[in-house]
Amino acid sequence: MKTLTSTFTALSIATLFSFNAIAADPEVEQDVNYGDPTASFSTIGISASKDTTQLNGMAGFGANIFQLDIAADNKTGDLNGRGRYFHVTDGLGYSVDVLADANSQTVLGGLIYKFQVTDNISIFPMLSGGATQVKRPGEDNKYDRSGLAQAGVYAMYGFDAGHWLYANPKTTYHVKNKAFINQVELGGGFMVSSNISVGAKVEYTAEHKNQFGTMKADTVTWLQANYYF
């Protein structure tokens, strides 16, 4: 992981290989709740917080799902992004995520499994592992690198009308810093029509230590809108 360019190049290569798998996986039409993280569908949307505006896109081809999120800082215009390939069959999914901005890059590979507890309640345990690198301040092409391990659970209540509520607690272990980063996300979506939803989420990150010192606890509120097709 030397540069931002090489990171996205690696994602592009992985995406090309993933498209080969699409031909072998016929697209299956099904009724889905758009809050289900293992559901395959296509959407474009926008998310906004006090400091950031983000464009969201997802394309579902049966068992193969591709996502791209691009965000901009509302004050500086600095960009960051996430690309994701996700494959799911019979509730079991695996994914590859690449997250990057001008100063850091992260790659994660993960697993998720869907437990359908009732017709309306679903539980999704998640486990990921990967690596990250962060540019050292004032040092060109010098990075601090570390392995990462992440575990979490996504719990969702899906309403019969298509709305949803969810909670997503997770913890990430930073190997080099020997520190856990604990987070929880709470949110939901409301279907205003058959192909449009509005929603909101709150992301909380607990106080933790990194290579720059102690990071204070942080809470971010997002508003969202999506169109499905």
**Total Cβ atoms within 10 A of residue 223:** 12
Q: What is the pLDDT of residues 121-145, one digit of tens each?
A: 999 999 999 999 999 888 878 899 9
Token pair for 131: 């690596």
Between 27 and 55, name the one with better pLDDT: 55
Q: By residue range, what is the domain housing residue 97?
A: 4-228
Q: Who contacts 114 (Cβ-Cβ below 8 Å, separation ≥6)?
A: 36, 38, 91, 92, 93, 122, 123, 124
Q: Who contacts 193 (Cβ-Cβ below 8 Å, separation ≥6)?
A: none
Element (H, E) at 7: helix 4-22
Average confidence (pLDDT) over 22-36: 63
User: Per-residue confidence at 52, pLDDT binned at 50, 70, 90?
Assistant: very high
Q: Output the pLDDT for position 28.
A: 40
Token pair for 38: 């293992």
Q: Which amino acid is at 105?
A: Q
User: Per-residue confidence at 102, pLDDT binned at 50, 70, 90?
Assistant: very high
Residue with tokens 């917080």: 49
Residue with tokens 């856990």: 180
What's the number of domains the chain is made of?
1
Would you say residue 41 has pLDDT above 80?
A: yes
User: Per-residue confidence at 154, pLDDT binned at 50, 70, 90?
Assistant: very high
Mean of all residue pLDDT scores within the chain: 89
Between 1 and 115, name the one with better pLDDT: 115
Looking at residue 14, what DSSP letter applies?
H
Separation CA 167–CA 123 (nearest Å): 10
CB 66 within 8 A of CB 82: no
Separation CA 196–CA 190 (nearest Å): 9
CB 110 within 8 A of CB 97: yes
CATH code, 80: 2.40.160.40
CB 82 within 8 A of CB 99: yes
Total-model pTM: 0.84
Q: What is the pLDDT of residues 58-101, one digit of tens each?
A: 999 999 999 999 999 999 999 999 999 999 988 899 999 999 99
